[in-house]
Amino acid sequence: MLQIDYSLWPLFGDHIGTLWIQIINFMVLLAILNAILYKPIRGILNRRYEAENSLKKSIEEFLAQSDRNEKGIEEGKLLARKEGVTEKEAIKGEGLEKQRGILQEASSVAEEKIGNARRDIEAKIVDIRKALEDQLAVFSSELAEKILGRSVQ
């Protein structure tokens, strides 16, 4: 059998065999821990990292989509406002035209009524003048009789 002389290694002395056993023990323990503990943990961490990256990409996509949707909504609002202003101006113009028509009609009706009233008043004035002229002769003769104290024919 092979004999190793450990006396050449003054630091370890006779305990060099237990050192090799401890090194082998450590290596076996390291291999077992690697297989049982480290690899599964690294696998879990890798899956978590991939899931996190996937979620980050999804978040970025949703944010980009929401930005596009927001821009679309803003453009729609602006377009609706422009259309609303145009519609408002059109309705306002129609209203002004109707207002002008109504005012013209009302002023023509008012002018017609004023004209009729003037004609009626002028006719009444003429009738009253005639009546007063007829009565004027009677009143003047009565007044002359009263002033003169005698009858005037």
Reduce the DSSP state of residue 11 to 3 states and report it.
coil
Average pLDDT over residues 114-133: 90
Q: Which one has a higher pLDDT value, 136 or 17?
A: 136
| pLDDT tens-digit map of 9-62 | 555 555 666 778 888 999 999 999 999 999 999 999 999 999 999 999 999 999
Average pLDDT over residues 134-139: 80
Query: What pLDDT sits at residue 115?
Result: 92
CA dihedral 142, 145, 147, 149 (to 10 degrees): -150
| pLDDT tens-digit map of 79-114 | 999 999 999 999 999 999 999 999 999 999 999 999
Helix (H) or strand (E) holding 3: none
The DSSP call for residue 38 is I
Handedness of CA 123, 124, 125, 130 (dihedral sign): positive
Rounded CA separation 119/121 (Å)? 5
Query: What pLDDT sits at residue 138?
Result: 79
What's this model's pTM, rounded to 2 decimal places? 0.43
Q: Where are the alpha helices (DSSP H) in the chain?
A: 16-33, 39-148
133 — pLDDT class (breaks 50, 70, 90):
confident
Rounded CA separation 38/30 (Å)? 10
Rounded CA separation 65/57 (Å)? 12
